[in-house]
Amino acid sequence: MAKIIKPDICVIGGGAAGLSVAAGAAAFGVPVVLIERGLMGGDCLNHGCVPSKTLIAAARHAQAIRTAGRFGLTASEPAVDYERLHARIHEVIAGIAPHDSVERFTDLGVEVLQSSARFVDENTVAAGDHLIRARRFVIATGSSPAIPDIPGLDNVPFLTNETLFDLTRLPAHLLVVGAGPVGIEMAQAYRRLGAEVTVIETRRALSGADPELASIAIAALRAEGVVLHEATTILAVEQGGGKVVLRCKNGTGAFLVEGSDLLIAAGRRPNHASLGLSAAGIDHNAKGIEVGSNLRSSNRRVYAIGDAAGGLQFTHVASYHARLVLQQLLFRLPAREDRAIVPKVTYSDPEIAEVGWSEAEAREKFGAVEVIRADLALSDRARTDGVEAGLIKIVVGSRGRILGVGIAAPSAGELINMWSLAVANGMTLKQVRGYVAPYPTLSEIGKQAVISYYAPLAKNAVVRSAIRALRVFG
């Protein structure tokens, strides 16, 4: 006989989004049940952000050794111990895992059920031998790699982000299908570690980013030896002679690409197929669960957050959604998602970071806008660090309001933080102009861009006349 549980909140999914809701509610003494069928910590900890950024860090050090000659040091081709790198990746995961563990959340007062979840009606979820009838449900089941429909792919072994970090050897020639953030990040990292890398993309590489910024990162990849085929269709995939073969076609005709390993990085799909959503009256589609700006589904008892809700697929979005839902569930305060304040970062080198409206989006939404740019070459710190390419773009609306910012630069993900604050608070260039940037830092480039916006005032006839008049007073 099933055991019936009646918590205040039932969270389905133990990734970043679900854990944030469970921990936040438990901190206020609210009864919470958390259901997770797989690894606690979800994709970010086990297959995504944590292992990928550990790999990228190793690749960055390898590239520093390779290019040390420009700083007067002895450069060499780095010797990569991939088994040791594999061990380090999993050491980092293991070091973070206790924070997301069943034991920690049990200690917080959360009842954790390690089972699959399925709605049996609008008010009830079944999980193992339990029936959960909560006041509110929060679906935070995340997403999985989307597998494109390529003829022959079913008969060829391939990697995704869920299996890539299990490799204990360096691929000789990695073929990457997809040139979104994940594809580009992994392509550059493996190239820096010594693999040959070829990337195939049906559209423009980094098509979700501002083209002007994306072109800087793509040029850097190609300069490092990554082969990138854009606007290219994969007709079929085959295996023979111990190699993976992609039959491709683009504007120049048909061609073959051969490699040792195949990585599929063609986007993600939500994990909601097994939840029995129709039984609960929850509207959904292939992109995710349909929610309003308050993240509530068509079933008023149920919210969906993070990748489950479609939209932006970032761990920090999951945390943002968790806060919005907790605000409503615990304090009965209205909350609305504002995607314009959410920063997006691609961790290539240089990184690409954006927040707010892009130039194209702003022109479409607001009409007349101004765009101010500053080249990273103007930064003294960029010169000392040997950074040759980079850019900041600031999209400016009426009365100098900052509508959006995009940066292509080393550590752009760090540099965007101040601008995220500015966009979220509706700040103007005048307010940013007043802050003092430490010298020498890359962040100065933003201040220089703002100053350039006001530079024409120095030649304004009215302003010059006023200054002349004030000189009369000594």
Tens of pLDDT, residues 369-424: 999 999 999 899 999 999 989 999 999 999 999 999 999 999 999 999 999 999 99
Confirm whether residue 14 is marked as ligand binding: no
Give the domain-ending residue among 246, 267, 288: 267
Contact (Cβ atoms closer than 8 angstroms) between residue 324 and residue 294: yes
Confirm whether residue 142 is marked as ligand binding: yes
Confirm whether residue 181 is marked as ligand binding: yes
Question: Which domain covers residue 161, as residue numbers?
Answer: 153-267
Q: Using CA atoms, how far apart are residues 236 and 242, in angstroms rounded to an integer?
A: 17
- Chain centroid to Cα 282, Å, comes to 27
Are 76 and 219 part of one and the same domain? no
Instruction: Please state, as a whole number, how many other Cβ atoms lie within 10 Å of the Cβ of residue 294.
Output: 14
Q: Look at residue 286 in the predicted model and tell me its pLDDT.
A: 93
Dihedral over Cα of 422, 393, 339, 50: its sign: negative
Are 193 and 254 part of one and the same domain? yes
Structural domain total, the chain: 3
Q: Look at residue 474 in the predicted model and tell me its pLDDT.
A: 64
CATH code, domain with 205 = 3.50.50.60
Are 296 and 419 part of one and the same domain? no
Confirm whether residue 182 is marked as ligand binding: yes
| The pair of three-digit structure tokens given for residue 30, joined into one six-digit string | 């609210």
Contact (Cβ atoms closer than 8 angstroms) between residue 473 and residue 459: no
Confirm whether residue 53 is marked as ligand binding: yes
Q: Using CA atoms, how far apart are residues 131 and 118, in angstroms rounded to an integer?
A: 10
- Asked if residue 471 belongs to a domain, the reply is no
Confirm whether residue 183 is marked as ligand binding: yes
Confirm whether residue 185 is marked as ligand binding: yes
- Asked if residue 345 belongs to a domain, the reply is no
Are 168 and 231 part of one and the same domain? yes
Q: Is 1 exposed, middle or buried (0-12, 13-18, 19+ CB in 10 A)?
A: exposed
Are 167 and 199 part of one and the same domain? yes
- Asked if residue 473 belongs to a domain, the reply is no
Instruction: Please state, as a whole number, how many other Cβ atoms lie within 10 Å of the Cβ of residue 107.
Output: 10
Confirm whether residue 201 is marked as ligand binding: yes
| pTM of the predicted model over 0.85 | yes
Confirm whether residue 307 is marked as ligand binding: yes
Could you say which residues of the chain have pLDDT below 70?
Answer: 457-458, 474
Confirm whether residue 306 is marked as ligand binding: no
- Asked if residue 251 belongs to a domain, the reply is yes
Are 164 and 258 part of one and the same domain? yes
Are 298 and 416 part of one and the same domain? no
Confirm whether residue 196 is marked as ligand binding: no
Q: Using CA atoms, how far apart are residues 62 and 76, in angstroms rounded to an integer?
A: 10
- Asked if residue 469 belongs to a domain, the reply is no
- Asked if residue 474 belongs to a domain, the reply is no
| The pair of three-digit structure tokens given for residue 142, joined into one six-digit string | 């995340």
What is the longest distance spanned by two Cα atoms in the chain?
94
What are φ and ψ of residue 341, in 5° steps? -95, 0
Give the domain-ending residue among 211, 245, 267: 267
| The pair of three-digit structure tokens given for residue 351, joined into one six-digit string | 């990184």
Are 276 and 259 part of one and the same domain? no
Are 255 and 373 part of one and the same domain? no
Kind of pairing between the strands at 196-200 and 173-177: parallel
- Asked if residue 467 belongs to a domain, the reply is no
Confirm whether residue 178 is marked as ligand binding: yes
Are 46 and 101 part of one and the same domain? yes
Are 242 and 294 part of one and the same domain? no
| The pair of three-digit structure tokens given for residue 216, joined into one six-digit string | 């800087």
Q: Look at residue 458 in the predicted model and tell me its pLDDT.
A: 67
Q: Is 395 helix (H, G, I), strand (E, B) or coil?
A: strand
- Asked if residue 322 belongs to a domain, the reply is yes
Are 35 and 86 part of one and the same domain? yes
